[in-house]
Structure 1
């Protein structure tokens, strides 16, 4: 809308007359709308291809990132019947971020997706095809992403020392219970977020993961009844020491809190269910230099790290503990088929992404398993 028309409309008191003028403006092609409601007939898919064609001077790695990330957002929008840039809103983008954080445990991965989508949305905004707020909410600080922690599989010696130190000095705390659970059970952070106190069977040392979208929590693979791609619902057995840590946490460390649905979340704050971002901060804190083995070199950390604003350079993501847990179970002789059920991940994905053992390591593991079968 031009400045002249806006000035005229501001001086009219009758809303019906304003509406009639707007209808005439729209019908005569006055479409310079900063929100991009009708300034292009191109679809999001076509605009993505146009964006990509204007980036031929980028490196192959950068273009590969564009091809891996932006179409994911376009598909997300199309699934919600959003096909043009004028239909994009901050609510849609927020929902996309929620889905990313539910699927990926690593802030670095979420940042890669949001950074590239933000760049594309900004490109659209420069052409007045979408609003400025649509891309600005994907700012790293706005999203609270802190991709400074480590994302590789946590070494067994490190997590062992962390758990020993927490056992000695923070026994029964949320940090102790949370990290022990991540190491033994290897869940996704979304799975931990979904847990209630009643999901922990103290008699059989079992933990139940359930998909409850109607009451605010979801599992990545849902359940068979929802028509999802897999079944994330499962019961898993816990090691005795981990069950003891959880039970003590429930008795002395957990605040007596319920969420907005009246459920009793296993990991809670005084306000209710701990958010995924809160769970990540707790893991950053628990795996920082303070609790790691003294033999580690902490020359890159001055001890002034803060899990809320500046995680320790020595800290690990929750996903790194999940990866380490899977590797540890595989190295201990757990077959991939059984690991697939325990960790809710396909055998193919385990082999490709979660099993960084060398071929020699795998050979040694098979040798020990075969010898065990002989015995």
Structure 2
């Protein structure tokens, strides 16, 4: 097979167009971020044609990534690169079979597990603060739904006002890829999340009094909205980072001895630089751990947050050995 001259940037753009529509927006963003790093690496080394790539060069890219990121991140990056190279072979930009020669970094089971999570006490403190000082604000609604529902960020973004059933009360999470709010597991992620009356009242007050009355470009009324329409993933992340900074909800005290007048994490756009702030996914891990510690049956938690029991145990339940032992106490028999 004769190879066709193909600039790396052109190949990447064609690949991203090819997979668009078959993957979620978040996955597409992750792919584009990884391949942007790959293009930077190619540019630094003067690689202007995909024809010039071979397995040795791609292995050097892997080594380059391992200098700056954790093994699990490099593993994910190289899986993306391998899929991209496999596609590049179909457009005759690289030799057929090159993707089979790409070695993926091996990681230990511990490296695959993220320990970042929001504790029940932290969540309680945050929600108490928001209820007192930012009642029914967008930030309050975001933190309340993420914590009480243990849901993914994509599930929160997918919610419309019509998906809030105050009578039950519940949030109805639905997969709507045709209007740009896909769920991670598609229809398998669809479910209804039952709410307490107190939580439902806060969401109702948010909708009636504080929500920006806007529609998205498809005419839908997003539950979490901004003046421009449906809140972007990055906007929701910023709400979470600012809410989980310890100084935001503990009376202004910084556990890291930083000066609030000079702290880089004080601005809204920089809150993720606080060592104590956490991501939306850390809230999901925290909810799962708190639910297990409270004695909620594993199958109930699994169905509520839409994950298998195996994944729940491996990646989300952050209970200590003592906490897990206490959960088993009432089931033990003296034999």
Name the TM-score, length of structure 2 as normaliser: 0.70
1:66 paired to 2:24: no
Give the superposed CA RMSD: 3.5
Distance 1:63 1:284 in 2: 25
Counterpart Cα distance in 1 of 2:149 and 2:285: 11
Residue of structure 1 in register with 2:307 after alignment: 345
Q: Is the 8 A contact 1:301 1:312 kept in 2?
A: no
Matches within 5 A, 1:67-82: 67-75=75-83, 78=86, 81-82=87-88
Q: Choose from 265, 270, 278 the match for 1:309.
A: 270
Taking a change above 3 Å as real, the CA distance of residues 235 and 62 of structure 1, as seen in their structure-2 partners, is closer
CA distance in 2, matches of 1:245, 1:161: 16
- Contact 2:151–2:284 (CA under 8 A) maintained in structure 1: yes
Q: Highest CA radius of gyration, 1 or 2?
A: 1
1:297 maps to 2:303 = no
Tell me whether 1:52 sits opposite 2:59 in the alignment: yes
Q: Relative to 1, partners in 2 of residues 1:77 and 1:266: Cα closer, same or farther, differing over 3 Å?
A: farther
In the other structure, the counterpart of 1:185 is 149
Shift of 1:40: 5.2
Matched, 1:83 2:45: no
In 2, the alpha carbon distance for the partners of 1:301 and 1:151 equals 27
1:69 match: secondary structure: helix
1:3 aligns with none
Q: For the Cα contact (< 8 Å) 2:289–2:317, is it kept in 1?
A: yes
User: CA separation of 1:316/1:56 partners in 2, compared to 1, >3 Å: closer, same or farther?
Assistant: closer
1:255 counterpart (203, 212, 219) = 212
2:172 to 208, 212, 215: 208
Q: Which residue is equivalent to 2:317? A: 355
Counterpart CA distance in 2 for 1:217 and 1:32 is 34
Distance 1:233 1:62 in 2: 33
Q: Corresponding residue for 1:197?
A: 161
Report the 3-state secondary structure (helix = DSSP H, G, I; strand = E; otherwise coil) of the residue aligned with 2:186: coil
Q: Distance in 2 between matches of 1:171 and 1:35?
A: 48
1:51 Cα deviation (Å)?
Answer: 2.1
**Matched position secondary structure for 2:193:** strand
Q: Does 1:170 align with 2:134?
A: yes
Task: Tell me how far apart the structure 2 counterparts of residues 199 and 310 of structure 1 sit (CA, whole Å).
Answer: 30
Distance in structure 2 (CA, Å) of the matches to 1:32 and 1:213:
32
Q: Which runs of 5+ in 2 are unaligned?
A: 12-47, 95-110
Aligned to 1:220, what secondary structure does the other structure show? coil
Q: Return the alpha-carbon distance in structure 1 between the equivalents of residues 134 and 328 of structure 2.
A: 38
Deviation at 1:77, TM superposition (A): 6.7
Q: Is residue 217 of structure 1 aligned with residue 181 of structure 2?
A: yes
Structure 1 residue runs of 5 or longer lacking an equivalent are 1-26, 89-108, 110-149, 224-230
State the shift of 1:367 in Å. 1.4
Does the 8 Å CA contact 1:41/1:84 hold for their aligned counterparts?
no
For residues 214-293 of structure 1, what are the structure 2 equivalents within 5 Å? 214-223=178-187, 231-293=188-250
Query: What SS does structure 1 have at the residue aligned with 2:249?
Result: coil
8 Å contact kept, 1:211–1:233: yes
Separation in structure 2 between the aligned mates of residue 309 and residue 84 of structure 1, nearest angstrom: 42
1:151–1:319 Cα contact (<8 Å) kept = no
Partner Cα distance (1:153, 1:340) in 2: 17
- State whether residues 254 and 268 of structure 1, in contact with CA within 8 Å, keep that contact through their aligned partners in structure 2: yes
SS in 2 for 1:236: strand
* Kept in 2: contact 1:186–1:326 (CA 8 A): yes
Contact 1:211–1:219 (Cα < 8 Å) also in 2: yes
Residues 214 and 332 of structure 1, relative CA distance in 2, 3 Å threshold: same
Give the deviation of 1:195 after TM superposition.
0.5
